[in-house]
Amino acid sequence: MRTAPTVLHLDMDAFFAAAEQAAKPSLRGKPVVVGGLGPRGVVSTASYEARRFGVHSAMPMAQARRLAPNAAYLIPRFTLYRAVSEQVMELLRRLSPLVEPLSLDEAFVDLEAGAAIDTASARAVGERLRRDIRALTGLSGSVGLAGSKMLAKIGSERAKPDGLVLIEPGTERELLGPLTVRTLPGVGPATGEHLRRAGMTTVAELAEAGEDELVRLVGKAHGAALYRMALGHDERPVVAERETKSVSVEDTFDTDLHDRVRVRTEVDRLAERCVRRLREAGHSGRTVVLKVRRYDFSTLTRSETLRGPTDDPVVVREAVGRLLESVDTTGGVRLLGVGVSGLADYTQEDLFAQAAAEERAAREAAGGDGGRTDGPAPGEAVRGAADGGAAGTVRDGLPGSPEPVAAPAERRFPAGHDVRHAEFGAGWVQGSGVRRVTVRFEEPGSAPGRVRTFWADDPALELSEPLPLVPPVAEAAMPRHGDGEHQGRPGADQSSCPASRPKSRSASRSEKAAGSSGDSGSGRARP
């Protein structure tokens, strides 16, 4: 247990919604809801103004619209959020080399890995971080400081919005005791209900119950962890690099799929999308997973482990095809998903090269009688009919992939996205209807702007990349570290802050993928 509050947890406030408000001056101070706009969409983030109407994350969008009919409804723009997130993470890395991102808007920092630090200087570091984040991005973040991850996170939660809470080591149990069990990480709706039925609603009651009782109630690992947390003990280290364990993609359909052939083609597309992501991440994997959510929301998975790792779209497609055959889809399919786990960072060629080398070695050792190697080739199924035999032969170009879709005009201007008009300059799509696009002309630094409507095929109007939330000139004026006060750590470079404006090319593809789950882009934003 640390004796100084050297674990920092940063949590950006209503991140997606706040980024949109920063990008769109007319939305500042107004309720903003970011999420899927389709009939089955849910809320990703609600601005604090929208939360006052009762809107919150994970709520069905239809419900949000009833609660806050006048809010602006926007689909997520991950290109923008990633760019801002990268700026923030860079600030964190200046505090310490040990930064553990949890998501785009959240991270732990181990300040002890920077320099020895006492309570007062930890607080100063946290406050300065919050100022720097605001100066660099225009957004607010909340900071928790404590002697462990769990308490740092509880601290940032209590600090929200736009605050800092430092939990003095030694005061943990006193602080935790009266809190609800749901405060503890790992206690969700199910465990919370389970504990409640056993008569435990506060953290103090968990501590009283004792480890044996908790293990009996919720299982070995969970019970033991719960007991330690209840006592305020949490020794989990801040881990900078965590390797990916699986890659998956899934789609919920606006209406249930009944046609078996359609189900099959959707599974094929998902397999290709999944493999594309797998390859982009430089991975291959052994276990292929098919996920099916039926009309009644019952969800099942089927998996198949291959003899060796693959990143071959044909192999993955054939595997999920086999898996699909074992699933009853009568009644309708709501969601389909394809995933690959058991990741290796070597690819199939490496494996083939390795297999070939082993074969050569074996032949030499055996006196060169040219015997065959045992077992199926990598990528071939361990069980089931390993039909096809095309394993590993397709390298370039994902077969059958992106089929040209006749894009309707509305598709070109998704609500909320940035555009540029030859005459009127920068703006964003406020709504798009039949062959028309409504644009509000404003940008991060400007005053709230005016709305104009164009034909969707107006050549003067084009989509553009997100603009930086804070004009680059403001970055130059941003305070630097290393000047005075604490920790002039040698080696921590104070030199160049790369002008981090949103990157253009690279991210646009993943953004498309992120927004593709049936969002037609026809949702209207109404400031």
Partner DNA sequence: TCTGGGGTCCTAGGACCC
What count of Cα atoms within 13 Å lies in the side-chain half-sphere of residue 478? 29
User: In whole angstroms, what separates CA 271 from the centre of its chain?
Assistant: 20
Does residue 264 interact with DNA by CB under 7 A?
A: no
Residue 75 CB, shortest distance to DNA, in Å, is: 11
Does residue 517 interact with DNA by CB under 7 A?
A: yes
SS3 content of the chain, % helix, strand, coil (to 5): 35, 20, 45
Choosing from 383, 435, 509, 512, the residue that interacts with DNA (CB under 7 A) is 383
Q: Phi-psi bin for 100: left (phi > 0), alpha (psi -120 to 50), beta? A: beta
d(CA 94, CA 159): 22
Integer CA distances (angstroms), 520 to 36, 41, 177, in order: 10, 11, 48
Stretch that binds DNA, among 38-46, 402-410, 434-442, 451-459 (CB under 7 A): 38-46
Unique residue bearing structure tokens 């055959």: 325
Helix H or strand E encompassing 428: strand 425-433
Closest CA to 295 of 323, 337, 339, 253: 253
d(CA 9, CA 142): 8
Helix H or strand E encompassing 453: strand 450-455
66 or 131: CB nearest DNA:
66
d(CA 184, CA 194): 14
Residue 169 CB, shortest distance to DNA, in Å, is: 22
Angle, vertex CA 66, rays to CA 298 and CA 139, nearest 5: 90
Does residue 62 interact with DNA by CB under 7 A?
A: yes
Contact track, DNA, 460-499, x by CB under 7 A: ----------------------------------------
Does residue 297 interact with DNA by CB under 7 A?
A: yes
Q: DSSP secondary-structure letter at 72?
A: E
Using an 8 Å Cβ cutoff, are 161 and 170 in contact? no
Using an 8 Å Cβ cutoff, are 479 and 497 in contact? no
* Main-chain dihedrals φ then ψ at residue 480, nearest 5 degrees: -105, 160
Does residue 250 interact with DNA by CB under 7 A?
A: yes
Unique residue bearing structure tokens 């310490």: 96
Does residue 40 interact with DNA by CB under 7 A?
A: yes
Does residue 508 interact with DNA by CB under 7 A?
A: no
Burial degree of 40 (CB within 10 A; 0-12, 13-18, 19+): middle
Choosing from 13, 100, 106, 410, the residue that interacts with DNA (CB under 7 A) is 106
Which 314-373 positions form the footprint of DNA (CB under 7 A)? 326, 334-335, 337, 339, 341-342
Using an 8 Å Cβ cutoff, are 463 and 471 in contact? no
Does residue 300 interact with DNA by CB under 7 A?
A: yes
Stretch that binds DNA, among 162-170, 241-249, 397-405, 494-502 (CB under 7 A): 241-249
Does residue 64 interact with DNA by CB under 7 A?
A: no
| Runs of H (alpha helix) within 186-259 | 189-197, 203-209, 211-218, 220-230
349 among known catalytic residues: no
Find the length of the chain: 527
Q: Max Cα separation, the chain? A: 82
Choosing from 20, 172, 304, 311, the residue that interacts with DNA (CB under 7 A) is 304
Q: DSSP secondary-structure letter at 500?
A: -
d(CA 467, CA 83): 10
42 or 135: CB nearest DNA:
42
Which 396-425 positions form the footprint of DNA (CB under 7 A)? none
Closest CA to 18 of 92, 93, 101, 105: 105
252 or 284: CB nearest DNA:
252
Choosing from 158, 228, 233, 277, the residue that interacts with DNA (CB under 7 A) is 277
Stretch that binds DNA, among 134-142, 166-174, 196-204, 293-301 (CB under 7 A): 293-301
Does residue 211 interact with DNA by CB under 7 A?
A: no
The residue from 106, 172, 304, 465 that is catalytic is: 106
d(CA 176, CA 313): 50
Residue 434 CB, shortest distance to DNA, in Å, is: 25
163 or 445: CB nearest DNA:
163
Stretch that binds DNA, among 83-91, 127-135, 248-256, 365-373 (CB under 7 A): 248-256
Residue 69 CB, shortest distance to DNA, in Å, is: 13
Does residue 41 interact with DNA by CB under 7 A?
A: yes
188 or 490: CB nearest DNA:
188
41 or 468: CB nearest DNA:
41
Using an 8 Å Cβ cutoff, are 206 and 197 in contact? no
Amino acid symbol at 203: V
333 or 467: CB nearest DNA:
333
Contact track, DNA, 146-185, x by CB under 7 A: -------x-------------------------------x
Stretch that binds DNA, among 19-27, 35-43, 462-470, 481-489 (CB under 7 A): 35-43
332 or 444: CB nearest DNA:
332
Residue 352 CB, shortest distance to DNA, in Å, is: 19
Does residue 393 interact with DNA by CB under 7 A?
A: no
Unique residue bearing structure tokens 């706009």: 37
Binding positions for DNA, rule: CB under 7 A: 36, 39-42, 44, 57-58, 60, 62-63, 66, 102-103, 105-106, 153, 185-192, 219-222, 244-252, 277, 286-287, 297, 299-305, 326, 334-335, 337, 339, 341-342, 382-383, 513-514, 517-518
Catalytic residues: 106
